[in-house]
């Protein structure tokens, strides 16, 4: 398990060719058929002149196109750069300029996404563009299906990647506001998927609901990679919808579903349980942010035949890293994120780098085969990797069983609906609006999203601004989950002696503004 991660599909195609690999809009595809599609796309990419180490950008939901491209690219040593369909063209172009992908495989539907993609291809020059679910108004774009028309050829040995070779770049938060590119290798992918499948007994008999974004490690690894490793069946759902989650679980006999707490809050708020048969569900995973005991108990009651499990992980660990056991009582799931997977390590350090005893809070440091070797940009690695360990920037403590109790984040980054949001990026954008002097974005608790943002905006002297016009400005240039839920216009905020906004002090007095 040190070669290309897509070898797992080849093995399933040989050992269980008629097993259903995935279902998409009620259309099942076997592992044999899936493997054949992967080989045809891999051949087409080689024939285009793509070489090991080249990057290919994707702007796709959970779909046959993404699953096939994810595996085909990995099989021949390409590096996948998944983009978020909720990004604006300028945000996507900035990531492309940093990663230099040669090709793009993109959704061309609905109209809003299509319009952003057509702006993207004007801002960044791809050598090849393939559209999925629609056509682009771009002369060089071809339908994705053209990649499937040719005959598969044997994959040359020299293009097959090794375990430590990069597989996918997932962008995560940076303390400067510039997203950091976590370079996940094939070895990282193997290790995370193996640990998840073995810890929670995910097998070929399972049906996994895959409805998390493919630009997020939850979509690419927590769900897809685990499902592929186990040889299970994935039910691909392009977009999360509370009612559809229950309907698909009932219709397809889903056995494993997972999500961030916000997703479950939305399900309980908006979905009708009366028509759903959830008796097939045997495992429900909550991760991405801590879950309240009340929510865990609510999930347990709603999915009465299922074991409820919890996990902590991050892009830099290729997804799940700690796991509660299937035998753990519900109280453990309510209070902890579990212990590191087999072969993984975690220690808690103080700010001076000294290891702390159990029960004391400090920064979480991790090691293991699922932990990345480094970020895409060398400057992001400074003070993060030491002696085989990686500092997470997160705070936690270990209990007497070695289980993690997550305590929050050292950085200003907050999590809303499972998405990492870094305030400096939002502030930088707000500060470009005419009449804005400066701004500060902080997080507040949100009953649905977990956390959401509040922007304090200080106008230039004599300028009158309204929250409405700034909200509209944000909608033009920021992905929707980055837009602050509330914008407050104020003449000033607490500052440090040298004039910097003192966010710690602002936190203390924030209540008077809300």
Mean pLDDT of the chain: 93
Q: What are phi and psi of 411, to 5 degrees?
A: -75, 170
What pLDDT is recorded for position 277? 97
Cβ-based neighbours of 286, under 8 Å, separated by 6 or more = 258, 259, 260, 261, 264, 295, 296, 299, 308, 309, 310, 333
Q: Which residues of 62-83 are buried (b: 16+ CB within 10 A; e: fewer)?
A: bbbbbbbbbbbbbbbbbbbbbb
Which helix H or strand E contains 266, and what residues bound it?
helix 261-270
What pLDDT is recorded for position 337? 96
In whole angstroms, how far apart are CA 172 and each of 221, 341, 478?
Answer: 15, 22, 16
Q: Is the pLDDT of residue 72 over 90?
A: yes
Beta strands in 173-261, from DSSP E residues, in sequence order:
180-185, 207-210, 233-236, 256-259
Cβ-based neighbours of 477, under 8 Å, separated by 6 or more = 88, 90, 91, 429
What pLDDT is recorded for position 425? 81
Tokens read off for 246: 């229950």
Average pLDDT, integer, range 153-160 = 96
In whole angstroms, what is the distance from residue 65 CA to residue 69 CA? 6
| pTM score of the predicted model | 0.86
In whole angstroms, what is the distance from residue 427 CA to residue 424 CA? 5
Let me know if 134 is exposed, middle or buried by CB neighbors in 10 A (0-12, 13-18, 19+).
middle
> Hey, which residues does 414 pair with through a beta bridge?
421
Is the domain spanning 414-513 CATH 3.30.300.30? The answer is yes
Tokens read off for 150: 């040719």
What pLDDT is recorded for position 499? 53
The string of pLDDT tens digits covering residues 269-315 is 899 999 999 999 999 999 987 787 888 999 999 999 999 999 999 99
Q: Is the pLDDT of residue 1 over 70?
A: no
Average pLDDT, integer, range 204-229 = 96
Q: Is the pLDDT of residue 234 over 70?
A: yes
Range scoring the smallest mean pLDDT among 71-85, 363-377, 425-439, 494-508: 494-508
Confidence of residue 175 (pLDDT cuts 50, 70, 90): very low
What pLDDT is recorded for position 194? 98
């Amino acid at each position: 398990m040190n070669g290309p991660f897509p070898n797992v599909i080849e093995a399933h195609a040989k050992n269980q060719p008629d097993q259903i690999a995935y279902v998409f809009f009620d259309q099942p595809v076997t592992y044999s058929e899936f493997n054949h599609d992967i080989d045809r796309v891999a051949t087409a990419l080689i024939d285009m002149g793509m070489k090991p180490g080249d990057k290919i950008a994707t702007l796709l939901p959970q779909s046959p196109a993404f699953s096939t491209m994810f595996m085909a690219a990995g099989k021949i040593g390409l590096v996948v750069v998944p983009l978020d369909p909720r990004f604006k063209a300028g945000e996507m172009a900035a990531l492309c300029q940093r990663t230099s992908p040669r090709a793009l495989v993109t959704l061309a539907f609905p109209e809003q996404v299509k319009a952003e993609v057509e702006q993207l291809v004007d801002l960044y020059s791809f050598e090849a563009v393939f559209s999925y679910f629609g056509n682009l108004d771009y002369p060089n774009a071809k339908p994705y299906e053209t990649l499937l028309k040719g005959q598969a050829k044997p994959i040359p040995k020299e293009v097959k990647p090794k375990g430590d070779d990069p597989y996918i770049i997932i962008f995560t938060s940076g303390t400067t506001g510039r997203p950091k590119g976590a370079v996940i290798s094939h070895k990282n992918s193997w290790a995370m998927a193996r640990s998840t499948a073995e810890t929670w007994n995910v097998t070929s008999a399972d049906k996994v609901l895959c409805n998390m974004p493919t630009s997020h490690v939850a979509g690419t690894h927590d769900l897809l990679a685990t499902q592929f490793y186990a040889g299970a069946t994935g039910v691909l759902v392009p977009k999360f919808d509370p009612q559809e989650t229950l309907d698909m679980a009932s219709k397809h006999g889903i056995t494993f579903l997972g999500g961030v707490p916000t997703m479950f809050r939305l399900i309980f708020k908006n979905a009708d349980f009366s028509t759903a048969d959830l008796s097939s569900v045997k495992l429900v995973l909550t991760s991405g942010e801590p879950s309240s005991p009340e929510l865990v108990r609510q999930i347990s009651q709603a999915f009465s035949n299922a074991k409820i499990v919890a996990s902590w992980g991050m892009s830099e660990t290729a997804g799940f890293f700690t796991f509660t056991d299937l035998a753990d009582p519900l109280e453990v799931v309510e209070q902890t994120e579990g212990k590191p997977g087999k072969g993984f390590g975690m220690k808690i350090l103080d700010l001076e780098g000294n290891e702390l005893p159990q029960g004391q809070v400090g920064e979480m440091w991790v090691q293991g085969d699922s932990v990345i070797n480094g970020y895409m940009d060398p400057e992001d690695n400074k003070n993060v990797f030491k002696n085989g360990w990686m500092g997470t920037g997160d705070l936690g403590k270990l209990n007497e069983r070695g289980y993690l109790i997550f305590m929050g984040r050292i950085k200003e980054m907050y999590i809303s609906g499972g998405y990492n949001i870094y305030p400096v990026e939002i502030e930088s954008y707000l500060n470009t609006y005419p009449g804005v002097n400066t701004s500060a974005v902080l997080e507040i608790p949100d009953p649905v999203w977990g956390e959401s943002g509040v922007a304090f905006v200080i106008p230039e002297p004599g300028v009158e601004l309204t929250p409405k016009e700034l909200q509209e400005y944000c909608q033009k240039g920021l992905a929707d989950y980055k837009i602050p839920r509330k914008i407050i216009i104020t003449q000033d905020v607490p500052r440090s002696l040298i004039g910097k906004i003192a966010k710690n002090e602002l936190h203390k007095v924030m209540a008077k503004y809300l």
